[in-house]
Each structure stands twice: as C-alpha cells, then as structure tokens.
Structure 1
C-alpha cells in the first residue's frame, strides 16, 4: 500500500530519532520525551506511580524503542513497567517488540484489531518512504500486545491511577487517549497535533477507516473535559487550546469541503480550492499534503 500523500511526506524526511535527553517533567513523576518538531517522531510519555511506570508510545523502530526503554527503566528504578500505544501507526507502536519481557504491553481491542489486520500493510508502506525510514524499520515486527481490554482500562501505578480510554473511530478505529487525572494531563496521540494540518490517513481503496466527522465528535467530548495539559501526538505541549484548535480546523475543513461538494464540483477541484483557502488561513502550518486526503474523506462522508 503506497499513497501519494505518504510518498510526498516521506520524500525529504530527516532521520526520525527519539532524543531522550530532551525529556522534561511536566508534573510530578510525569515526563514527556518531546518530538522537537521532527517528522515521524511522536511525543512519548513516561508516567510514574509508587509501584509502576507507564510508557506511552515507543517511537519508530527498535533502536528508538530501545532508547525509550532504557530511559524508562532508569526512571523506574525497579518499579514495574507497562507500555501502551495511542494507536497502531508505526511511529507510535512499531518498537513495542523491544519491550517484550521488560514491560506489559496493553492496548484496546480495536487497536489490537488494527495491528492484526493493517499492521503489515503499514509496515510495508512506511518502509517505502525512503532509505532512512526503511533502515529504522528493517528489523521491526508488527507488535503483539500482552493484554487486550474492552472499554476504559484503569491502571493503578501506586498512588496514581491512569485511564486508558478508547475514543471510538477518529484518526484510526483503535484510537485511545491516556488520562492522568491527578495531574490534569491528557495524551491524545494523533487526535491532536500542533502547528500542522490534521493527518487524515484516507488511502482508498486500501484504508478508509479515518472519519473526520467522528474525529470532530471525539474532540468535542475531550474539549468538554478541559484538561490542564494536553500532550499531542506531534508538536508542542499545551493546554486545552490544543484540542480546540484541531477541532476548529476540522470544522473549517468540513465546511469548506461540504459547501463545494453541494456545488457539483469534482473531488480534485474541491481539494484544490479548499487547499488554497486553508493554506491562506494557516500559512505557517506544516503538513499541507494532508489537506487533499481530508477533502476526500469528507466528500465520502457528506450526508
């Protein structure tokens, strides 16, 4: 499976190195390894309680994951390790094999299904992004979770309970957020990002599971909770505005697309017009290649 938007995005990608030395504590015993604006590097969480430590996302490939595991092991100082991933995409989950035997890997049932049914295709697609990415993924395997759960999973780390909450289909069918209620912190995965156009992986006929309409509904619910700190999948950590900014953009994308869809234009014409409007409104944002897939998704979702 190869999509022009992915090929375009991968053409000039830098090496997606996770730099654990940049980790910063955003609350007591709660650290974020930031992506520092590097493509295909997620923000990674290391959340501690008195008895255990939870890692959120792995980075792409085994070398990055080994760095994250070493960092988390040093933080844990003998505490039990857990791992979860916000969704199945390779830069978030395709390093989980490194944690086998060192941490318990938990995912929700829909994400487990994504891994099983789409993981191999995404691994092949990402390996096709270029030599740098292929090298990162040369020994990676589709992750196999230790624990698969239904509904919300509350994980007791000792004096701190973390909620692993599936959101329903949005960016992917298996999206989940990770809530740290005592600190008011929310990890969103790619349901929210800062400084770029939302990534809608609309790849017909291979993968059309993303739903912009469902994603908007998810962001409405998350925004209503008004978290103090939001850790997006990529980009700068911020407050609740991280959620509302993405929600507002998806509304813009929806409204501009559906307005033109009613006029009888073809999808390519609609995409060209919508791209021009949105780039003009958000000239500093990265990821312009994701506007066209978003238009395609919303054209398909038009009532």
Structure 2
C-alpha cells in the first residue's frame, strides 16, 4: 500500500468537547489520529503525537499554549507510528507515560514498523525523517491514575485487542474515553495482522475489550480515527467485529479454504458497508480470525 495523502496534523481545527478538554481531529486523513489535550489546574496531558517530529512539534506547541505554564504529560494509546512516533519531541518538555505491554511493543516491534512505514511512500518517509523510537519516562503496571489538579485521568491497559499493548484514557468527570485504534468510525476495523512479524492482534480479545468498554457508560468516545461520538462508537465497532467473526467462522466450519473465505467475506462486507473506508483491512481480519478459530 502506498499512501499519497500527507498525514499532516491540523492543530487549528482543535475543538473543546468538555471544559479544558480538546480534541485535534484527524479530519479523515489517513495516518492522522485524533489527538487529545486534557487539562487540570496543575497539569495538561497530551494523548498521542501524530506521525513524525514535525507533527509532534505542532502538537507540543499547541499543548504548551493551552497549558500556560502548567506541567505537561504525554501518553500514547498504543505503539503504532501515527500515535507514538513523535514522542521524542516531548523529551525534556513533558513526562511520557505508557503501560508495560506498550513499552515492550515499542522496544520489540518499533524498528520494524518504522521501516515498514517508510516503505509506504515518499510522503510518509519524509514525515519519518529523523525519528527515533521513543523512550518512556514512566512505565506502569495495571491502572495508572494521573492527577492533573482537580481532574483525575485513568490510563487503563485493556489486554490484547488491536495490539498487545493497547491502553484507553478515561476522563471520568467529563465522561470521556479515548480508545486509540480499538475503535474508529466510518471505516473497517484496522487489523495489523502481519505474519510472521506481528500476530498480536486478536479479534476475539478485541470483542471482549469492547464488551467491557461499552458497558462502562462513557458519554463521549474519541476513536483513534474518525468522528467523535457517544457509546455507539463502541457498539458499532463491536457489531462489525461480531459480523466479521461470525461470517468467517461459519465458512471455516464448512472447511472452506482461507482464500475462498476471504473473497466471500470481503464481498459481503463491502456490500453491507459500501460507504466505509479501509477495505484493505478486511482480508487481514479474516486471516486473523481463521487462525483464532483453528486454535
């Protein structure tokens, strides 16, 4: 896959979704995540960086302006390049916190993903010029509660889903949840199924995670990519993953081959969701779920 659109973060589009809580939207641009800036009386937390140093510099400048002297923190929802491969820019300016499994993903898989993304085309390679893999300042086990001053933020690892090291970011007083790529809107779920290099995505685990998140009753859900919404962001992705699992497993039970299953399921899902982007993620999703069916 070659990416032709420049994945530029547009901080000018930031909007407040709750008091002292802003989202820099991805505007439906490939490889641009939704980025959060969450404030308390004493500190400000940035959620995700954008792809590469230039994007991250803009995010840092924006967050510094919002903070007006308050301390800065950074966290990332998972290790993928558009979410975390700008973190080096925050060194010395913010405290970077991640969960233990995400730190392991960064160390073990980061170099391979950096090389893979540089191969997506010249525009992406330029964005990744000078990128060094981030080194977290704080690596935590279990849940981490960050006190921003009058506002607590919960950094909560979810277990294996989109990646091994996914974490969500909850702002309880505002009822806001940042999901990373556990949820998107307007596109097929992203399955980073790249055997033999990375097979940690789990459709079965992902469904379990979404069941738990959907039951929590968050008022506002900020997906990794796509429009901010309510609880339906989670339930819609869950419904799609169930659909993908059921259509795949039904055919696997009949002893069809993976190639035939993939062709049939892709055709069916595109027919059912013709307006969705990211059709290239159906095939790896089928392959992942075939493996999980057979396990």
Q: TM-score range by the shorter chain?
A: over 0.9
Q: Does 1:298 align with 2:289?
A: yes
Unaligned stretches of 5+ in structure 1? 1-6
Deviation of 1:12 after TM superposition, in Å, equals 4.0
Matched residue of 2:177: which SS?
strand
Aligned to 2:234: 243
Write the distance in 1 (CA, Å) between the matches of 2:163 and 2:4.
23
Q: Does 1:48 align with 2:39?
A: yes
1:229 maps to: 220
Q: Are residues 1:270 and 2:272 paired?
A: no
Distance 2:196 2:39 in 1: 42
Q: CA deviation at 1:226?
A: 1.6
Per the TM alignment, residue 289 of structure 1 is displaced from its structure 2 partner at its CA by: 0.4
Assess if the C-alpha contact under 8 Å between 2:3 and 2:120 holds in 1.
Answer: no
Residue of 256, 261, 272 corresponding to 1:281: 272
CA RMSD in angstroms, aligned pairs only: 0.6
Q: How many angstroms does 1:206 deviate by?
A: 1.0
Given that 1:41 and 1:234 are in contact with CA atoms closer than 8 Å, whether structure 2 keeps it comes out as: yes
1:206, 1:155 → 2: CA distance?
Answer: 34
1: CA distance, partners of 2:3 / 2:196: 26
| Matches for 1:1-303 after TM superposition, within 5 Å | 7=1, 11-302=2-293
How high is the TM-score relative to the length of structure 2? 0.99
SS in 2 for 1:302: helix
Q: Secondary structure at the match of 2:132?
A: coil
After TM superposition, give the deviation of residue 13 of structure 1 in Å. Answer: 3.0
Distance 1:202 1:95 in 2: 23
Maintained 8 Å contact 1:13/1:39: no
SS of the equivalent of 1:174 reads: coil
Count of residues paired in the alignment: 294
The answer to whether the 8 A contact 1:56-1:83 is kept is yes
Query: 1:263 deviation in Å?
Result: 1.2
Match of 1:4 in 2: none
Determine the C-alpha separation between the residues in 1 that align with 2:8 and 2:195.
Answer: 30
